[in-house]
Structure 1
Amino acid sequence: MAATTDEDYSDYEDLMCDRAPVRAFRRWCEPPLFWIITLVGGAGNLAVVWIYLNFRRRLKTMSDVYLLNLAIADLLFVVTLPLWAAEASHGWNFGLVLCKLNSALYKVNLFSSTLLLTCISADRYVVIVEATKAQNSRLERRRRSWLVCVGVWLLALLLATPELLFSTTVDVDSQPYCRMVFPAHLGNFTKVLLLSLQVSIGFLLPFIIMSFCYSVIVAKLLNTRSFQKHKAMRVILVVVVVFVLSQLPYNGVLVVQATQASTMSLKDCEQINCFDMVGQVLKSLAYMHACLNPFLYAFVGVRFRHDVLQLLHWRCWRCQTSSNKSPLSSTRVMSDSDTSQALSL
């Protein structure tokens, strides 16, 4: 991460290197990108939550449960970004308590979002590869999905505990910043451990599971005769490619950060500053996944596109007429069977 959450710079870097160019670059780079992610991601995920609460009324499938929780996680994640944008511009002026809470909330939703994407891929595997079994146990699977979501949130809370413990405000050039600062007796081991956990649970494990599930799904689709087969495979390809392109570069940065904390392999200040600037750009790229999730996972489905049109139609109707008859009352509610196997991905 950048200095906002989990970049606890080493003594060598703090004492021997001039970090002003990094802070200046961050002041120029992060605020506009974070605000774009906040506005676009906030609108998209709010639409998902609004549709579930107003049009769906109840969650019919496992994917519905995961998509709602994913939208909530992404929504809470983008809520933290304006404070980090403000810090990049003017330093952290929100106090110690909010520093800890915002850091923890940021990390909770970072982990929960990635883990929920993994759950969605596993659910798609069951629905398509084990279609008969999934159909016969739909009610049980939906109930189980709530337990899975509770487990995801609890695990994310556990993984965010270090943010509550070690996040604090520190003065850099007479300006406060919110950082992770570890006690001297813990050394860099804690930082290496936390970065390793973030890469392993936040990227590597989900990537392995998603790759397996979607590979088997593609193999299954190749053996089917459906005009929607190619569209389904394109959806899978886009989902995997977007996940890899957005997450792999930044997680590579985290691996280098862990190596640097352990071995201090980078000693040239210009290289260190350049690496941090690249990391800030790749971090913003990774955060854009919160904007893309609604379009990759929710709006791609027939039912959700139908509900989005309902939402727009309803808003237009509210603006144009005061008639007692709502257009929603005459619109057919789509069942799970209306969503094709391909587009329910």
Structure 2
Amino acid sequence: MDNMEESFTTLMTTETGYTGTDPSDYTDYYDAGPTDITGMCNRGWVRAFRGRYEPPLFWIIFILGAVGNLMVVWIYTMVRNRLKTMTDVYLLNLAVADLLFLCMLPFWAVDAIKGWDFGVGLCKMVSAIYKINFFSSMLLLTCISVDRYIAIVQVTKAQNLKKKRLFYSKLVCLGVWFVSTLLALPEFIFAQVKTNQKGQSFCTLVYWNNVNNRTKILVLSLQICMGFCLPLLVMFLCYSVIIRTLLQARSFEKHKALRVIFVVVFVFVFSQLPFNSLLIVEASQAANTTITDCDTIFGFDVAGQVAKSLAYTHACLNPFLYVFIGVRFRQDLMRILKMCAGSRGLSKTQPVPKRPSVMSDTDTTPALSI
């Protein structure tokens, strides 16, 4: 028995850089992020880093995102009363998707601190709902870029098909939710609660054992393509044509519109590129494991936690990027503020300025307003 333990320790030291004496330190570690490349290293420090780093950041994202997205939903449902354009439909669905996504963060915050104590069923449900809303958010951002392309570049066609476009936008949203649900099926299938030898339970994905990890590679490939590559490609194509159209327009507001476009694209790339780059590394590792040095693996683990948190910030940034920078929402907010201050600073006989009853897409074209 002693010889077996000595051989075991020697093997771990030479193959992975592991220098501990307790095999349980490395044998039972759950997939805490996109860079869980191997289970052969002592990752106690990485777990401790996650427990300190993720919870406060997740709660900040949750609070900011909840305030912004709830305000969007409130304005659409209580102030405007009805949806008038395709972008209105997409933005309302985007706010709902972000809110549902944010509701999952407290579970992950608790999981980071003391492990998963909510059972297998809730593990599957939380994982699936989180992924459904992640994909739906990305696909809705794609739809918004397409809608802006139609409204700005295809102005005549957009006006002629305005009523049909509003109907089509609702069908598109149903399609987005359906596709997102299909893409989230792996989360529901493979999510499990694992317990290490120290008694800690974790909600993680446990893929079926198969040749060359084909299942894991397929799941990661779908997430990379549908959650980043497709939205980025569509946004790049649509906004490139929009930029060219705006540069040819004689409008003093075109420079403001260009700044809005650049901010939208930059924030999307800045928040999503690091996370998806690490997913690509994980997919390549699943196909052909080449990284065995524990220090390198630790670096990927920490980078994965930071990149994942950065990607999550899209849920609290979307209201400000796609809504509050728009002229129409600023006008609505100003109306609300004036109504709230009406009893103090405004005369009751003085009418509150109203936004035009019909704000067509072409009215908002010069400033790329929403």
So what's the TM-score if we normalise by structure 2?
Answer: 0.86
* Cα drift, residue 317 of structure 1: 5.8
Contact 1:8–1:181 (8 Å) recurs in 2 = no
Q: What amino acid is the match of 1:336?
A: M
1:283 & 1:276 partners in 2: Cα distance?
Answer: 11
2:256 & 2:130 partners in 1: Cα distance?
Answer: 35
* Cα drift, residue 331 of structure 1: 4.3
Contact 1:6–1:180 (8 Å) recurs in 2 = no
SS in 1 for 2:202: strand
SS in 2 for 1:336: coil
* Cα drift, residue 8 of structure 1: 9.0
Correspondence list, 1:197-212, <5 A: 197-212=222-237
**Distance of aligned partners of 1:295 and 1:8 in 2 relative to their CA distance in 1, 3 Å threshold:** closer
Contact 1:66–1:116 (8 Å) recurs in 2 = yes
Runs of 4+ in 1 over 6 A off after TM superposition: none
Counterpart in 2 of 1:18? 42
Counterpart in 2 of 1:301? 326
2:126 & 2:349 partners in 1: Cα distance?
Answer: 41
SS in 1 for 2:207: coil
Of the three residues 282, 297, 310, the one matched with 1:272 is 297
SS in 1 for 2:168: helix
Correspondence list, 1:5-44, <5 A: 9=36, 13-14=38-39, 16-44=40-68
Q: What amino acid is the match of 1:80?
A: M
1:44 & 1:3 partners in 2: Cα distance?
Answer: 33
Counterpart in 1 of 2:157? 133
So what's the TM-score if we normalise by structure 1?
Answer: 0.92
1:180 & 1:191 partners in 2: Cα distance?
Answer: 9
SS in 1 for 2:83: coil
Correspondence list, 1:71-220, <5 A: 71-172=95-196, 173-185=198-210, 188-220=213-245
2:103 & 2:339 partners in 1: Cα distance?
Answer: 27
Contact 2:34–2:304 (8 Å) recurs in 1 = no
* Cα drift, residue 333 of structure 1: 3.4
Counterpart in 1 of 2:355? 333
Counterpart in 1 of 2:278? 253
Contact 1:92–1:176 (8 Å) recurs in 2 = yes
* Cα drift, residue 22 of structure 1: 1.2
2:330 & 2:319 partners in 1: Cα distance?
Answer: 11
Task: Write the deviation string for residues 225-279 of structure 1: whole angstroms up to 9, x where unpaired.
Answer: 0011100000001101111111111110100011111111110112111111111
2:224 & 2:244 partners in 1: Cα distance?
Answer: 28
Counterpart in 1 of 2:6? none
SS in 2 for 1:177: strand
2:163 & 2:318 partners in 1: Cα distance?
Answer: 26
For the pair shown, the structure with the greater C-alpha radius of gyration is: 2
Contact 2:58–2:309 (8 Å) recurs in 1 = yes
* Cα drift, residue 184 of structure 1: 2.1
**Distance of aligned partners of 1:83 and 1:316 in 2 relative to their CA distance in 1, 3 Å threshold:** farther
Matched, 1:49 2:67: no
Counterpart in 1 of 2:8? none
Of the three residues 83, 88, 92, the one matched with 1:59 is 83
- Give ranges in structure 2 of 5+ residues lacking alignment: 1-28
**Distance of aligned partners of 1:290 and 1:103 in 2 relative to their CA distance in 1, 3 Å threshold:** same
* Cα drift, residue 326 of structure 1: 11
1:134 & 1:217 partners in 2: Cα distance?
Answer: 14
2:166 & 2:208 partners in 1: Cα distance?
Answer: 44
Contact 2:33–2:304 (8 Å) recurs in 1 = no
SS in 1 for 2:93: helix
**Distance of aligned partners of 1:3 and 1:79 in 2 relative to their CA distance in 1, 3 Å threshold:** farther
2:88 & 2:340 partners in 1: Cα distance?
Answer: 23
Task: Write the deviation string for residues 56-100 of structure 1: whole angstroms up to 9, x where unpaired.
Answer: 111000000000001111111111001101100010111111111
Q: What amino acid is the match of 2:137?
A: S
Aligned pair count reads: 337
* Cα drift, residue 340 of structure 1: 5.0
Q: What amino acid is the match of 1:105?
A: I
1:168 & 1:8 partners in 2: Cα distance?
Answer: 18
SS in 1 for 2:117: coil
1:5 & 1:299 partners in 2: Cα distance?
Answer: 34
Contact 1:114–1:202 (8 Å) recurs in 2 = yes
1:36 & 1:140 partners in 2: Cα distance?
Answer: 40
SS in 2 for 1:127: helix
2:70 & 2:296 partners in 1: Cα distance?
Answer: 41
* Cα drift, residue 4 of structure 1: 6.6
Q: What amino acid is the match of 2:294?
A: C
Task: Write the deviation string for residues 16-40 of structure 1: whole angstroms up to 9, x where unpaired.
Answer: 2112111111011111111111000
Contact 1:300–1:343 (8 Å) recurs in 2 = no
Task: Note the aligned Cα RMSD (angstroms).
Answer: 2.3
SS in 1 for 2:204: strand
2:282 & 2:148 partners in 1: Cα distance?
Answer: 34
1:190 & 1:297 partners in 2: Cα distance?
Answer: 36
Q: What amino acid is the match of 1:311?
A: I
- Give ranges in structure 1 of 5+ residues lacking alignment: none
